[in-house]
Amino acid sequence: MNPLFCRTAGALDLLPVMVTPFLRISADVPRRGKIRKWLESLRIPGKPLVVQLMGDDPVNLSAAAEILYTDCGVREFNLNFACPSGQVVRSGAGGALLKDPEQMRRITAALREALSDISLSVKLRCGFANPVEMDGIIPAFEGLIDYMAVHYRTVGEGYRRIGDGLERLKRVVAFASVPVVGNGDIATPEDAAAMMEFTGCAGIMCARGLLRDPYLLKRLSGAECPDVEAGREAFFRRALEIAAAEKEEYWSRPRLVELARFVYGAESVRFRELIAVKDFTLENLLKIID
């Protein structure tokens, strides 16, 4: 997600909780001011906030978490042991750590020791190369975390279609001693219900499905919502209005084009219409949106 997506979703009250994109902590811990500024653009007033951290160094990750705790009042943290990006994996962070359960345990224990009264969770993929790795991964978090979110693909599978995702999650749920939040390809309320029913997971998270249907989580809560197409239009219209009102923060062609690509999809007629607008003004863009 980008900050304009979060700002718009907040304004339309579409998210029950805000989980930030990962804050990557590598060799140096970012300065306090930089961390504060990063978080301010993602916070949704009045909503619970979970900050996701990614890195491979327990000391630096704990130091960053302490800044977020003391300076920003963050009380819920999630550790990313899932990201499959080549650059991240080569650096030994994100999904690469699935190969090293002991290091994941050291990192998780360091945060738990540094900040004992936080909610702490992890985001995993279902192994680095093979789902059977979960047998060694899950016990690494014993006694340290409140829940785990699990994307049913391995790192090696990237975003390829797989046939046995729900079976994999079911195994994880049966094996884990903490609640499991299931993740992977949830695009509709029916997908979410099928995942919960089949796997017994405690909750679901969705990423790409939410970008393509920003009302998806609201829909899942049973609230009355516009249909998917109308929801996209309502969302993008509101994003344009926010960007126009808070120009410095949000108005730029690349940012709006990125948001349109998320919401409508790069292949859609609407996206092509929007990027073809020559004079990229609110008035001209609103002429296209219903």
Q: Least distance (Å) from ligand FMN to the CB of residue 151?
A: 4
Tell me whether residue 228 or residue 244 sits nearer to ligand FMN (CB atom). 228
Q: Least distance (Å) from ligand FMN to the CB of residue 248?
A: 25
Tell me whether residue 187 or residue 244 sits nearer to ligand FMN (CB atom). 187
Q: Least distance (Å) from ligand FMN to the CB of residue 15?
A: 14
Q: Least distance (Å) from ligand FMN to the CB of residue 217?
A: 11
How many Cβ atoms sit within 10 Å of the Cβ of residue 213? 24
Q: Least distance (Å) from ligand FMN to the CB of residue 281?
A: 28
Binding site for ligand FMN (CB under 6 A): 21-22, 52, 80, 82, 123, 151, 183-186, 206-209
Q: Least distance (Å) from ligand FMN to the CB of residue 227?
A: 20
**With contact defined as beta carbons under 8 Å apart, do 269 and 280 qualify?**
no
Tell me whether residue 21 or residue 156 sits nearer to ligand FMN (CB atom). 21
Tell me whether residue 152 or residue 285 sits nearer to ligand FMN (CB atom). 152
**With contact defined as beta carbons under 8 Å apart, do 9 and 214 qualify?**
yes
**With contact defined as beta carbons under 8 Å apart, do 61 and 107 qualify?**
yes
Indicate the burial class of 2 (C-beta count within 10 angstroms; 0-12, 13-18, 19 or more). middle
**With contact defined as beta carbons under 8 Å apart, do 250 and 7 qualify?**
yes
Q: At residue 252, what is the residue type? A: S
Name the helix (H) or strand (E) containing 34.
helix 32-40
Tell me whether residue 18 or residue 206 sits nearer to ligand FMN (CB atom). 206
Q: What are phi and psi of 216, to 5 degrees?
A: -55, -50
Provide the b/e sequence for 130-153 (b: ≥16 CB within 10 Å): ebebbeebbebbeebbebbbbbbb
Place of tokens 């609110």: 282
Catalytic position from the list 6, 72, 83, 225? 83
Tell me whether residue 53 or residue 240 sits nearer to ligand FMN (CB atom). 53
Q: Is 72 a catalytic residue?
A: no
Distances (CA, A) of 191 to 47, 166, 182, 185: 25, 11, 11, 8
CA torsion, ordered 170, 172, 173, 175, to nearest 10 deg: 120
Any idea which residues carry the catalytic annotation? 83
